Structure 1
Amino acid sequence: MTPEECLIETERLIRESDFLKAISRISSPPTESRALTEKEIERMEKNGNRAEDWSRVTVGGNFDPDLVHYSHFLGSVHLGLSPGNLLLETIPLPAEIWNTVLADCNVFGRSVIRNVSLLCRTSIQTDTILMNCGRLTTETPPTSFCIGENLSLGIETGGREVPLFPEITVEIAACVAKHRADHDFLQRYSNLVHEAKKRAATARSIIESGCRILNTACLTNFCIGTGTVVDGASLVKNTILLSAPEEPVRISGGASIQNSVVQWGTEVSSMAVVENSVLGESTCIRHHGTVTNSYIGPNTAIEKGEVKASLIGPFVGFHHQALLIAVLWPEGKGNVGYGANIGSNHTGKAPDQEFWPGEGTFFGLGCNIKFPSDFTEAPYSMVATNVTVLPQRLEFPFSLINTPAERLPGLSPAINELLPGWLLSENTYAVKRNEIKFKRRNGAERNRLVFEVFRPEIVDKMLRARKRLVEVPKVKEFYTSQDIPGLGKNYLKDGARIRGIEVYTFFIRYYALRGLYRRIRESSLSRDRWDTLLSSPSEADRWEHERGVLLAEFPGISVEEALGKLIEMQEKVAENVRLSKEKDDRRGTRIIRDYAEAHPSASEDSFVRETLEETAALRKEIESLLGED
């Protein structure tokens, strides 16, 4: 996303914001309002109710005083209460107000409000249940909740601040965090957010329709979206909970949220703590997970560990006690193993260093990442268990960083061994599984997520990496970054260099051949005109990239020959996926007596079967294409 695209998208999101529209609608005076009659006041008092001034209590046209018992009214209160039942789980509850103190509040439609210690400066929409809560208040109105607050992403001490607004996406946050030299862009973005903040200013906190607020001690300066469930939270303060009936937000189990935005379909539970942060669509913070001054992208789960001053992209698995501090990772799709320490941002002078992981990076158990480091040119790489990674810039995709297999002359033992392309050659199963898994598990509808691994930007990184491996000035037993740029603080054995070239070449060509096959299927060209696909430029950016790679890798090849090669390569990929799983099967059965009875074999594995089925279908279709006259 370019800065200009970022501004256009930000302006659109703010202009079309359902949140801001709801603020405007709910902040308007009640359309139907009248004073209580003397008879209604008498009935209210008979039901155990009291008011500071009954003349400041207004009601809807069909108000029934018998819906209100043992409550106290302070200031201006509007009771637009309607009769009916609401379900709490499977239990029908009658709409009513019972044993609650209301101050400067509006209540609309069928609502159940029971045992609330103080409901102050809050507007409650229809079909809402509030039960057994402490204080729900708006302090020092007007409030814009947390809009305009700065997230210090990537640098704990500041320098990449991103002002937040409710619908902010990963792409927007990353663009603002990374374009610090473009002062005009930053100012224009800040102006847009400031305008949203002004539009959001309201005298009351808001609970939209269909919410369930239960057993919660304190809510202050909040906007709670449609269908939200807050049950047993300890604190919700200066927070916006975006929600929808089909994508409800759930806050429960002692969770605490302050100065934050929680987007659609997200869960915060089991003593999790969220402060000064944005939780993207369908995220999950659980089991004492802590998120501070961070953006957590869609479909990412944070459990038990700590995230601070970080931008974490989609589909990051973080299910154990580990640490992420000052990490700029908008690409996401990685994994953080137990005990991973990714937070060495303090030089002894200030905590001002940062780390940029690449897409799909896997951090093994107990690894230590020293800052500053940049892995963005090394997507889908893996840091092995217990490895300490020195500050570096790594530029080899699909690599393994491992502890040194041997002591080499003239090298510090702190220098690790690098195996370029290792994930593709030794663990194709993981690549295939992740691609399929992310598609199936995606719960985000508003962020533009890409699930495909082999796409132009990833292939370009592979092309650059292969070029560096090929162009070594002199063949040696091993190499460092002085010999091959982009190796970082690692060494590379010559055998691994040659293997890396082979692996990169295979998958670069595989990408291009897949593109040709897709282009043939999308075109209406007869077979005798297929070769024009290779010789004639088009306006399709993706195909032009694939065509350029194809011509460079296979000069003079015919389309028929290329399709034949694709069958061979696809079958090789399927075979590698199967072998990756079978390798685990063999090792497991050697060690665990009943391993085979407890684990599905490669032939039973769903990802293996799906890959084999795709391969068979591809072969059948290509053979059909080649068999046409």
Structure 2
Amino acid sequence: MNKIYKKPLAELGFQFVSGDYLQQGADEFVFRDQKVDKSIFRPLSIREINILESNLNEAENWKDIFVKEGFNAHLVKNCRFFGINRIGKLENCFLEFKNLRMPVGLYNSTIISCDFADNVAIDRVNMLSHYQVGNEVMILQVNELATTATAKFGNGSVKKGEEEKIRIWLELGNENGGRKVIPFLQMKPGDAYLWTRNRDDKALQEKYIEMTLKEFSSERGFYGQIGDRTVIKNTGIIKDVNMGPDTYIKGANKLKNLSILSVPEAPSQIGEGCELVNGIIHEGCRIFYGVKAVRFILAAHSQLKYGARLINSYLGSNSTISCCEVLNALIYPAHEQHHNNSFLCAAVVQGQSNMAAGATLGSNHNSRGADGELQAGRGFWPGLSVALKHNSKFASFNLISKGNYPAEIHNPIPFSLIGNDDKTGGLLIIPAYWFLYNMYAIARNAWKFEARDQRLVKDDLLEFDYLAPDTVFELLNAINLFEKWAGQEWLNDPKNANENLELYVDGIENSKKKTKIAKVYKAYHAFKDILYYHAAKELLATMERNQSKDPILLLKETISKSTPIVDWENVGGQLIPKSALQELKNNIKSGKVNSWLQVHQFYQAQAKLYPDQKFENALNGLIQVLGKKELYEKETFTAWLNKAIIVSQNLADGIKNSRKKDFQDPFRLAMFGNEEEMKKVIGDWKSNDFILQAEKANKEFVEKLWKIFKG
């Protein structure tokens, strides 16, 4: 039975918070009044009351309405007022936004206990309750716009008198809730990642909860906020939603329990047919055309569109999910996922990733319980109609070719193309695929992610370069695996350069079929070569930061203080040594770090150390390949830099040649009458901006290294 209570009309707009939940000595307006200067408001004059009544306005008590100097009673028509309301200046003008024109004033609306700043335009809001509305806000045709006394605005808080079971959790990375976290307004993807790990460490997990509960107030009675210049039109229900300045909402069905962090430089927008519940939306986001999202965080400058479904998930900054479904996922920045038939479930995807059409990743229907997981490093790229099984794990920059993969896969080799071997039915892996056959794509993606990073405040140091400490560690691990599988002697014999070794290994696919590793000789040397290049590139970057230092002295100093190559962890897109993370966790458990703000300060401190650590890591990677530490000795130094020059030229040629192939494909040419028409339609690879840019970068790289030789 629906419980419907009957109360005196005079109480409507009052007793927002019952006395049982008020702080001692406080009234129900304590948090409301912290946001407004009551001294600038005055009671209505008798003349203003007469004008308001003549304009068909009603109030349970005109004494409960307060106005600011500049208030124009003629601009309030056919409204009903309940509770205490405050109205700012109303001028005889209209507001215009994207062809929407509205006269300033309050019209045809029911208003309960609200505060209005200057020159608002409100029309046909069936119920506007317990909101504080900013300057020049436009609201047209909304069924319900209300805040309740227990509003949480997307945070996982519990208010006084509420049961713990109502707390909102995000069940990230696993459908069974075993990695769930409590969302809070300033939660970064790194926070979510740390919290989802180390589930066996009870003391650490309790500290995460303790730190998070400090982010909230358990008090009742917070009013909803609508920031300056916000525009809302033709929307159904908006309940318990905070909106920052310049938010734009049009045609949404239902918005409930949200924080929308919009700012003038990066406004957020929600469009037609959207239904969003229990979420936090950061600045610069776009959500439109039938999106359904429940229990989610959307980081800055990300998009949900065209019927996307996002549930129990965190989507990192500068990402787009279109059409498809994502459940129980923690996704790092720069993720792309399109097409109506793709699906991602119970996954941690470490960004710079792209889901192709038809990819079915992580369906738990192939398990006896919904507890499987998928984990993928940076640059994860499953191709068309790929079907993967939980539990699978992939190193960085793995490309998976079209096909069904019925067994679990743990591939530790980065920069690989994964496919099915027609001969054996097992997996086929081509390591170093990107360097050997598709340099244009991997190099352009690194440039693209950097160029498209729209964050206003880049306080999280996101690594977009495909060569970085995480991939250096994986490259060295792969080199060791190649030596174990094929033998170091065979791999270092130039006679085998063109040998197509039939190399089959165990432990990558969970089946009785062996995995074929193709072109292992080329991959082995490509991985070594790229470490020469990476170390030289980081040497030049470090010289830029230390222009007064001699490069040999810089090398000696760095190598003398360097530590052995270490494993790094991708924490929300920022790379941090595992040893530093362990120290952070120890400090959290001891109470030395007791807030998420301090954790964020740790990220920033690590970001300052990162450039020099990256150089040190690159040198250590090269030392492992060379087997000697004296890189600064003339013969070794010269050989290293000469090798780096050759590799840089090969990479530049690879970028050009991999793109050139697209234009020389006879099947593409068949679409056009002749080559000239093709150039008119799709352009000429010779004038490709990115190829020209890569050639320029290579030239500059070589020139800088030659200066070191001459110096």
On whether the aligned pair clears a TM of 0.5, the verdict is: yes
Which residue among 507, 513, 524 is the counterpart of 1:501?
524
The 3-state SS of whatever aligns with 1:198 is coil
Q: Offset of 1:498 from its aligned partner?
A: 2.0
- Residue 473 of structure 2: aligned partner: 460
Give the C-alpha shift of residue 396 in structure 1: 0.6
Of 277-286 and 591-600, more deviation after overlay is shown by 591-600
Match of 2:462 among 443, 449, 457: 449
Show the 5 A alignment for 1:368-447.
368-375=387-394, 378-388=395-405, 390-404=407-421, 406-408=422-424, 413=425, 415-444=426-455, 445-446=457-458, 447=460
Which residue of 1 is the match for residue 638 of structure 2?
560
Describe the shift of the 1:389–1:361 C-alpha distance in structure 2 as closer, same or farther (beyond 3 A).
farther
C-alpha displacement of 1:64: 2.2
Query: Counterpart of 1:352 in 2: which secondary structure?
Result: coil
Distance (whole Å) between structure 2 residues aligned to residue 161 and residue 176 of structure 1: 8
Say if 2:348 is the partner of 1:308.
Answer: no
* Deviation per residue, 1:140-174 (Å, 9 max, x gap): x1312221121001111210101101121111111
Structure 2 residue 84 is the aligned partner of structure 1 residue 76? yes
Aligned twin of 2:116: 107
CA contact (8 A) 2:154 2:280 kept: yes
- 3-state SS of paired residue (1:197): coil
| Aligned counterpart, 2:693 | 610
Measured in 2, the distance between the counterparts of 1:207 and 1:549 equals: 53
Letter in 2 for 1:333: Q
Over residues 487-524 of structure 1, what are the superposed CA-to-partner deviations in whole Å (9 max), with x where a residue is unaligned?
A: 66674546522222122112122212222333344442
Which digits, 9 at most, give the CA deviation of each residue in 1:420-464, with x for residues without a partner? 121221111111100110111111235432111101121111100
Query: 2-side partners of 1:528 and 1:245: how far apart?
Result: 49
Q: 1:25 to 1:72 in 2, by over 3 A?
A: closer
Q: Which amino acid aligns with 1:390?
A: A
Counterpart of 1:552, as a letter, is Q
User: In the TM superposition, what is the alpha-carbon distance from 1:617 to its structure 2 partner?
Assistant: 1.6
**In 2, distance between residues paired with 1:348 and 1:559?**
54
Structure 1 segments unaligned to the other structure (5+ residues): 1-22
Q: How far, CA to CA, are the matches of 2:194 and 2:59 in structure 1? A: 53
Contact 1:275 1:291 in 2 (8 A): yes
Change (3 A) 1:47 1:623: same
Q: What corresponds to 1:171 in structure 2?
A: 190
Contact 1:271 1:288 in 2 (8 A): yes
Residue 531 of structure 1 contacts residue 559 of structure 1 at CA under 8 Å; is this kept in 2? no
Inter-partner Cα distance in structure 1 for 2:40 and 2:484: 79
Identify which of 561, 565, 570 aligns with 1:537: 561
| Partner of residue 20, structure 1 | none
CA displacement, residues 281-330 of structure 1 (integer Å, 9 cap, x when unaligned): 10000011111111111111011100111111111111212344433335
Farther-moved stretch of structure 1 (76-85 vs 223-232): 76-85
Cα displacement (A) at 1:597 = 3.5
Amino acid at match of 2:412: E
Q: How does 1:134-533 map to 2 (within 5 A)?
A: 134-139=143-148, 141-148=149-156, 149-198=168-217, 201-375=220-394, 378-388=395-405, 390-404=407-421, 406-408=422-424, 413=425, 415-444=426-455, 445-446=457-458, 447-472=460-485, 478-482=502-506, 485-486=507-508, 491-493=514-516, 495-523=518-546, 524-526=548-550, 532=556
SS at match of 1:216: strand
Is the deviation greater in 565-574 or in 202-211? 202-211
Verify: 1:621 aligned to 2:629, yes or no.
no
Residue identity opposite 1:518 in structure 2: A
Instruction: Report if aligned partners of 1:387, 1:402 keep a CA contact under 8 Å in 2.
Output: no
Q: Does 1:117 align with 2:126?
A: yes
Kindly provide the amino acid, as one letter, of the partner of residue 483 in structure 2: V
In structure 2, the residue matched to 1:550 is 622
Partner Cα distance (1:29, 1:324) in 2: 50
2:59 is matched with which residue: 29, 51, 67? Answer: 51
Whether the aligned pair in 2 keeps the contact of 1:478 and 1:492 (CA below 8 Å) is: no
Q: Report if aligned partners of 2:472, 2:621 keep a CA contact under 8 Å in 1.
A: no
Distance 1:253 1:78, change over 3 A: same
Mapped to 2, the partners of 1:399 and 1:40 lie a distance apart of: 75
Residue 8 of structure 1 is matched in structure 2 by none
SS at match of 1:215: strand
Q: Give the whole-Å Cα distance in 1 for the aligned partners of 2:447 and 2:510.
A: 31
- CA gap of 1:200–1:93, structure 2 versus 1, over 3 A, is farther
State the shift of 1:348 in Å. 4.8
**Quick one: distance in 1 between partners of 2:98 and 2:119?**
16
Amino acid at match of 2:440: Y
CA contact (8 A) 1:170 1:330 kept: no
Q: Does the aligned pair in 2 maintain the 1:171–1:330 contact within 8 Å? A: no
Supply the RMSD in Å over aligned alpha carbons.
Answer: 2.5
2: distance between equivalents of 1:181 and 1:81? 58
Aligned partner of residue 418 in structure 2, secondary structure: strand
Cα distance in 2 for partners of 1:343, 1:493 equals 24
Moved more, 193-202 or 385-394: 193-202
Deviation of the 1:67 alpha carbon: 1.9
Letter in 1 for 2:432: G
Aligned counterparts of 1:535 and 1:184: Cα–Cα separation in 2: 38
Aligned in 2, Cα 1:356/1:551: closer, same or farther, shift over 3 Å? closer
Amino acid at match of 1:314: P
Q: Tell me the secondary structure at the aligned position of residue 225 of structure 2.
A: strand
Amino acid at match of 2:423: R
**Contact map agreement 1:154 1:310 (CA 8 A) in 2:** yes
Structure 1 residues 525 and 50 mapped into 2: Cα distance closer, same or farther (>3 Å)?
Answer: closer
Deviations 1:235-284 (A, max 9, x none): 11111101101110000122111111111100000111111111111000
State the distance in 2 between where 1:487 and 1:576 align: 31
Moved more, 169-178 or 182-191: 182-191
Name the CA shift for 1:535/1:64 in 2 (closer, same or farther; >3 Å).
Answer: closer
Q: What is the CA-CA distance between 1:92 and the residue it aligns to? A: 5.9
Contact 2:559 2:616 in 1 (8 A): no
**Are 1:601 and 2:612 counterparts?**
no
Measure the CA separation in 2 of the matches of 1:563 and 1:371.
44
SS at match of 2:109: strand
Alignment of 1:25-64 (within 5 A): 27=35, 30-64=38-72
Preserved contact between residue 295 and residue 311 of structure 2 (Cα < 8 Å): yes
Letter in 1 for 2:358: G
Q: For residue 93 of structure 1, report the CA deviation from its aligned partner.
A: 4.0
Q: CA deviation at 1:74?
A: 1.7
Secondary structure of the structure 1 residue equivalent to 2:561: coil
CA contact (8 A) 2:57 2:80 kept: yes
Query: Contact between 1:126 and 1:209, CA under 8 Å: does it hold in 2?
Result: yes
**1:161-189 CA-partner distances (Å, limit 9, x unpaired):** 01101121111111111231232232222
1:592 matched to 2:671: yes
Q: Which residue matches 2:142?
A: 133
TM-score, L = length of structure 2: 0.79
SS in 2 for 1:326: strand
